[in-house]
Every structure is written in structure tokens, then in C-alpha cells.
């Protein structure tokens, strides 16, 4: 698999049926997802502000949460605020 060591801005869309998280490149004009994954069997949790994964470069300012897929792929996502991070986690957890 591919390991990304830098941060990319992405727009996320959460779908409930089937439980799926799509992500889009906000700089692109067309409206097709650049990726996504099923939320079934995933684990989601908040990370402490010092919980940035080793080797990750870029401007990381906290409000992080992590999603681990059933295939053991780790996604680190940075919300714009602590409140938004809580909202994302609370929305995702029932779908896992």
C-alpha cells in the first residue's frame, strides 16, 4: 500500500447506506471522489494534539482523529476545530 507522509486538503462526504466515506480534491472542478472507503468494521478515535503520527510533515495543528479500516489502513484526519472533530466521530461511530 501507499503511505502518505504529508497533508492534503480534502473535502469529505459521509454516506450512511452503504456506510462509506468519500473524499474529494477541492481544487478540482469535476465532482468525482479521488478516494473513499467502507466504514463497516472500522475503528474511529480522537488523537491528542501531540498524537501526530511519526514522519508526517506539514502544518499539523491538532483536532486530529484516526480511522482504521478493517484492512488495517490508517487514515489521519484533521478537523477545523475540536467541536467539528467530535461531530465527525459521533457521526461515523454508528456506521462502523
pLDDT tens track for 83-95: 999 999 999 999 9
pLDDT value at residue 24? 95
Q: Classify domain 11-95 at the CATH class level.
A: mainly beta
Three-class DSSP category at 95: helix
pLDDT value at residue 53? 64
Averaged over 50-79, what is the pLDDT?
81
CA separation, residue 32 to residues 8, 22, 41, 56, 82 (Å)? 17, 9, 25, 27, 28
Assess whether pLDDT exceeds 80 at residue 25. yes
Assess whether pLDDT exceeds 80 at residue 61. no
Amino acid at each position: 500500500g501507499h503511505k502518505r507522509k504529508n497533508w492534503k486538503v480534502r473535502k469529505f462526504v459521509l454516506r450512511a447506506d452503504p456506510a462509506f466515506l468519500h473524499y474529494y480534491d477541492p481544487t478540482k472542478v469535476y465532482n468525482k471522489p479521488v478516494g473513499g472507503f467502507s466504514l463497516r468494521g472500522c475503528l474511529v478515535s480522537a488523537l491528542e494534539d501531540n498524537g501526530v503520527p511519526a514522519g508526517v510533515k506539514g502544518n499539523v495543528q491538532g483536532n486530529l482523529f484516526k480511522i482504521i479500516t478493517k484492512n488495517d489502513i490508517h487514515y489521519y484526519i484533521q478537523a477545523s476545530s475540536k467541536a467539528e472533530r467530535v461531530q465527525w466521530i459521533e457521526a461515523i461511530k454508528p456506521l462502523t
